[in-house]
Every structure is written in structure tokens, then in C-alpha cells.
């Protein structure tokens, strides 16, 4: 039975991905900053461990406790929506610490054992914001775009050791806790000069034509883990799939 370590499992994509892998008969190490009982089905195949991806000691403890890891799913992340001008650099650094450096740190921690076994899969969950330019998401997009480039390069680098690196790109999901982990309120990031610009954008967020379900992302992660064709990117959700097709066709 294979082992998957999934970060950011307290809610949203991570929680659903943990459920999905359990349903497929895998051993799952579900990690989150503050472990919560009852959110995942009781199973001898499940372990819930505390993890702060921005803390080196926390990462080291999880890697030691987890044992052999066949699949790492880097899902933990925080969002920020607002005018870039009004977003404190201190908060942008926090976003990068989790969304970018947290992914780098977890990946670096798990590579040695995968390299020694010459087997393993690393799946990095980014965003459809990397597929098209979204307003009021500059800092968040930058943190995720870094992982896009990182994963593409890593796929070549680790392929030499039979380790696969993959990207899952979720679309917009209004039901996820996108900004709940942030200490900065959205309304504080929309100063008066941006109000007229922001209003129709937030209205479109509230009534999107297509949205991504948590199950879409879980299934895309599963597909990425089991893919052996060399495909790098796996858009998740109807809107992300549409954006990916548009990008591939050269549309703007």
C-alpha cells in the first residue's frame, strides 16, 4: 500500500484530496497547522500530523514521523486579494513563505528518500491565476507563478531519478477558505481610488460562470499522481480547463 503526504488538509482541496486517496486504499498522512478530529473518516490508513510548512523544525518532525513517502502533495497555501499598492509587503512575504518557500522546503525535505528509492511523485497545487492575468491578485499570482516555473524545471531534474513532478491548477472556487488564513481583511486592501475598478470584479467573483469543486481538484491530483505520459500540468475545474485550452491555443 502506498503512502501519500498531503499538506493543508484542514479544509478545502487538501481535505477532499485526503478523503479521495483514502477511498482509493492509500495510506494518508494528512497534515495541517492545528490537527482537528472528526474531519476525516476514522481509518487505520490515516494519520493526522501537525505541520507548519514555514517552520524547518516542524517539517523535519513530519518527515521523520511519516516514514517512506511515495507521494507528496504540496497543497497548503494562503490567498490575498486586493490592490497591490495597498498590500503590505510584510503580508506579501507571509504569502510567499507559505505558497512558495513552504513548497520548496517540503520538496527539498522529501527528495532524498525518493532519490534513494528512485521512485516517487511530487504534486504542487497552484492556481488558474497562473493561466491568465487576474486583477487584484498580483501578489498571490506571483507566489504561484514561481511554483509553476519551479515544477517545470524540477520535472527535468528529478526525472533522472525516476521521480515525477506535476502541477495541479485549480480554478476559482468560492466555497474554499481562500483568504481565511490571512491577517489582512480584503476591504482594507481596496483603497478609495480602486473602489470603482474593484466593484465589478468582486461582483463577477460572486457570480462566476464556472466554478471549481473540491472534488475536481482531488481527482486532478489523483490523475497527476498516476500519470506516466510526461504530462506536467493538470487543470482542475471547468474554468481552469477552459483557461488552459485558451492558453494552449494562443488566445488572450
The pLDDT of residue 186: 62
The pLDDT of residue 175: 53
Q: How many residues does the chain have?
A: 252
Find the catalytic residue in 13, 20, 140, 172: 140
pLDDT tens digits, one per residue of 133-164: 888 999 999 999 999 999 999 999 999 999 99
The pLDDT of residue 156: 97
> Counting beta carbons within 10 angstroms of the beta carbon of residue 122, is it exposed (0 to 12), middle (13 to 18) or buried (19 or more)?
buried
- The rounded distance, in Å, linking the Cα atoms of 138 and 130 is 10
- The rounded distance, in Å, linking the Cα atoms of 147 and 101 is 9
pLDDT along the chain (252 residues), means of 10: 95 96 98 93 96 98 98 95 93 97 98 98 95 90 97 97 97 62 63 89 71 93 97 91 80 48
In Å, how far are 82, 197, 199 from 192, measured between CA atoms?
12, 10, 11
Q: DSSP string of 3-50?
A: EEEES--SSHHHHHHHHHHHHTT-EEEEEESS--TTSS---TTEEEEE
List of domains in the chain: 3-249 (3.40.50.720)
- 3-state SS, residue 71: strand
Based on the residue annotation, tell me whether 194 is a catalytic residue of this protein: no
- Using the structure block, give the residue that is written with the C-alpha cell 513563505: 97
Q: Which residues contact 73 (CB under 8 A, 6 or more apart)?
A: 4, 5, 6, 7, 14, 17, 123, 125, 221, 225
Amino acid at each position: 500500500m502506498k503512502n501519500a503526504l498531503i499538506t493543508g488538509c484542514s479544509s478545502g482541496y487538501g481535505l477532499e484530496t485526503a478523503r479521495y486517496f483514502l477511498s482509493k486504499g492509500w495510506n494518508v498522512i494528512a497534515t495541517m497547522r492545528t490537527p482537528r478530529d472528526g474531519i476525516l473518516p476514522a481509518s487505520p490508513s490515516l494519520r493526522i500530523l501537525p505541520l507548519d510548512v514555514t517552520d524547518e523544525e516542524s517539517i523535519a518532525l513530519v518527515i521523520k514521523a511519516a516514514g517512506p513517502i511515495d507521494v507528496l502533495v504540496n497543497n497548503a497555501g494562503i490567498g490575498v486579494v486586493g490592490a497591490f499598492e495597498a498590500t503590505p509587503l510584510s503580508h506579501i512575504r507571509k504569502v510567499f513563505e507559505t505558497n512558495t518557500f513552504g513548497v520548496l522546503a517540503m520538496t527539498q525535505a522529501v527528495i532524498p528518500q525518493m532519490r534513494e528509492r528512485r521512485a516517487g511523485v511530487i504534486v504542487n497545487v497552484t492556481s488558474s491565476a497562473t493561466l491568465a492575468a487576474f486583477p487584484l491578485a498580483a501578489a498571490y499570482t506571483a507566489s504561484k507563478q514561481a511554483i509553476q516555473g519551479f515544477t517545470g524545471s524540477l520535472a527535468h531534474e528529478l526525472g533522472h531519478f525516476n521521480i515525477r513532478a506535476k502541477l495541479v491548477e485549480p480554478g476559482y472556487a468560492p466555497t474554499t477558505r481562500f483568504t481565511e488564513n490571512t491577517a489582512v481583511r480584503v476591504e482594507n486592501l481596496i483603497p478609495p481610488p480602486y473602489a470603482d475598478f474593484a466593484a465589478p470584479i468582486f461582483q463577477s467573483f460572486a457570480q462566476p460562470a464556472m466554478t471549481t469543486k473540491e472534488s475536481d481538484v482531488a481527482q486532478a491530483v489523483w490523475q497527476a499522481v498516476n500519470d506516466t505520459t510526461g504530462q506536467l500540468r493538470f487543470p482542475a475545474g471547468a474554468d481552469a480547463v477552459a483557461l488552459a485550452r485558451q492558453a494552449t491555443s494562443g488566445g488572450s
